[in-house]
Amino acid sequence: MKKPFVSTEQLKEIVKKYPTPFYLYDEKGIRENARRLKEAFAWNKGFKEYFAVKATPNPYILKVLKEESFGVDCSSYTELMMAEAVGFNDDEIMFSSNVTPKEDFRLARRLNSIINLDDITHIALLEKIAGIPEIISCRYNPGGVFAIDNDIMDTPQEAKYGFTREQLTEGFKMLINKGVKQFGLHSFLASNTVANEYYPVLARMLFKTAVELHRETGANITFINLSGGIGIPYRPEEQPADIYRVGRGVRKAFEEILVPAGMDDVAIYTELGRFVLGPYGCLVSTVIHQKRIHKEYIGLDACAANLMRPAMYKAYHHITVMGKEQDASDHKYDVTGGLCENNDKFAIDRMLPKIDIGDLLIIHDTGAHGFAMGYNYNGKLRSAEILLKENGETELIRRAETPADYFATFDFSERYKFADIQESKSQSQKT
């Protein structure tokens, strides 16, 4: 069984201060995991983790990771803004985007971030609007099917990202002619895998490609970015990736391929948003409704607008009924939110202890791609985010949305001023 990083007693005190639903993050766990990752790749003197901001776009979380010497991977204008606000700059920022607006490239260049180009046509676009930097990276899509020991992991040929192999050679030559002095190579070929073999197999492919590109073009390749893809065990019976074993596998490939080619100074970069933060966040919700018809339903004050993954992907997230961890899981429930959509279910036919109205539920492993994917369907408001600090105290790191936030984008209109709407609501409540 998965064990929450917060006790029932702690949580009862927290909800006195912050109404549910809210996201709760474990600072101690985040820092410890960050240090494990760095330790696993300490053999590479240039190693750096570029945390994927899209996974958990919160400046307080990014500040914690900055203190652990992480960089950030940004994919949009606003993510670049957030990175700058937290204090990241220059080569602490990797900008990896696709279908990239001109203003995004301009801001990335102003921040002197490392730009990871997704398409060969972006070379001319970047040169025209912002100039070509001396350090640049290119994203590689090998096409075909990506498999490990005949087990298909993903199908790059269906992905919209990256250069083909032929385009890499052409692109590197173009960039050298435009003054690029240092190159990076990047690829992302699988998502959310706990297979220890993924990174080493990906590394071998990228290392071999880097050696070929160096020989073909003379490019000075100074870093190789293994990107993300290492996942987390969402189900209790699954085993997590062994990051130390992963690191050793990448090192073996490094020593067998890059070292003999005279490329032993190449730095290894990663972008492990889910692995770094996923297990160290949870969604806390209160049971507000029970319904018995053809099935038995438990209704929460959270919904798919707070956590989209189960509705969108039928993804499994473990659930703990706080205070009943030792009780028998002898009741079958669908655990739902209140959206006007039947896929608004956190669990279907899940065996859990007997649940009562007012119980606190923890939905595990939402530290990455949880809050970030939230939305406002049905006028639902996004929840607060709380940091459980190492000393046991809590800090509000994002307040919950209010109706004023929901109506704020109508502020251009005299007809729909929020103040008038609020006054109408107030009068209605009085009557």
Query: 164-198 in b/e burial notation, b at 16+ Cβ within 10 A?
Result: eeebbbebbebbeebebeebbbbbbbbebbbbbbb
The 10s digit of each residue's pLDDT in 6-58 is: 999 999 999 999 999 999 999 999 999 999 999 999 999 999 999 999 999 99
Spatial neighbors of 176 by CB under 8 A, at least 6 apart, are 217, 218, 219
Give residue 288's domain range: 279-406
Q: Is 246 found in the same domain as 132?
A: yes
In a domain, 1, yes or no: no
* CA 69 centroid distance within chain: 18
Domain final residue, candidates 276, 297, 325? 276
**Could you tell me the CATH number of the domain that includes residue 255?**
3.20.20.10
Average pLDDT of 82-95? 97
Position 426 pLDDT exceeds 60? no
Helix intervals (H) in 41-196: 59-67, 77-86, 102-110, 121-129, 165-177
In a domain, 323, yes or no: yes
Distance (Å) of CA 357 to CA 129, 142, 327, 413: 58, 52, 17, 42
Q: Any idea what the Cα angle at residue 386 is, between residues 381 and 389, rounded to 5°?
A: 175
In a domain, 6, yes or no: no
Position 430 pLDDT exceeds 80? no
Q: Is 312 found in the same domain as 206?
A: no
Point out the least confidently predicted range of 56-65, 164-173, 416-425: 416-425
In a domain, 77, yes or no: yes
Place of tokens 């539920």: 361
Q: What percent of the chain has pLDDT over 90?
A: 88
Q: Is 385 found in the same domain as 264?
A: no
The 10s digit of each residue's pLDDT in 135-144 is: 999 999 998 7
Point out the least confidently predicted range of 120-134, 315-329, 400-414: 400-414
Residue 401 CB burial class (10 angstroms; 0-12, 13-18, ≥19): middle
Structural domains of the chain, count = 3
Q: Is 301 found in the same domain as 158?
A: no
How far is residue 399's CA from residue 321's CA, in Å, rounded to a whole number? 25
Q: Is 306 found in the same domain as 347?
A: yes
Q: Is 208 found in the same domain as 296?
A: no
Q: Any idea what the Cα angle at residue 184 is, between residues 179 and 185, rounded to 5°?
A: 130
In a domain, 389, yes or no: yes
> Where does the pLDDT of residue 431 fall: very low under 50, low under 70, confident under 90, or very high at 90 and above?
very low
Return the pLDDT at 417.
66
How far is residue 336's CA from residue 78's CA, in Å, rounded to a whole number? 32
How far is residue 114's CA from residue 18's CA, in Å, rounded to a whole number? 39
Q: What percent of the chain has pLDDT over 70?
A: 95
Pairing of strands 331-336, 296-300: parallel
Return the pLDDT at 275.
97
Contact between 350 and 372 under an 8 Å Cβ cutoff? The reply is: no
Going by C-alpha positions, the residue among 307, 382, 311, 371 that lies closest to residue 341 is: 311
Contact between 274 and 357 under an 8 Å Cβ cutoff? The reply is: no
Q: Is 294 found in the same domain as 284?
A: yes
Q: Is 418 found in the same domain as 352?
A: no
- Whole-structure pTM value: 0.93
Q: Is 248 found in the same domain as 122?
A: yes
Residue 4, Ramachandran bin (φ over 0: left; ψ between -120 and 50: alpha; else beta): beta
Q: Is 266 found in the same domain as 207?
A: yes
Return the pLDDT at 246.
98
Position 253 pLDDT exceeds 50? yes
The 10s digit of each residue's pLDDT in 257-293 is: 999 999 999 999 999 999 999 999 999 999 999 999 9
Q: Is 398 found in the same domain as 368?
A: yes
The 10s digit of each residue's pLDDT in 294-344 is: 999 999 999 999 999 999 999 999 999 999 999 999 999 999 999 999 999
How far is residue 54's CA from residue 383's CA, in Å, rounded to a whole number? 17
Position 427 pLDDT exceeds 80? no
Structure tokens at 185: 């190579």
Domain final residue, candidates 230, 252, 276? 276
- What residues are annotated to the active site? 340
In a domain, 17, yes or no: no
Domain final residue, candidates 229, 254, 276? 276
In a domain, 153, yes or no: yes
Place of tokens 């606003």: 78
Position 226 pLDDT exceeds 90? yes
Average pLDDT of 72-87? 98
How far is residue 125's CA from residue 131's CA, in Å, rounded to a whole number? 9
More confident residue, 148 or 242: 242
In a domain, 254, yes or no: yes
**Could you tell me the CATH number of the domain that includes residue 333?**
2.40.37.10
Contact between 121 and 100 under an 8 Å Cβ cutoff? The reply is: no
Q: Is 394 found in the same domain as 422?
A: no
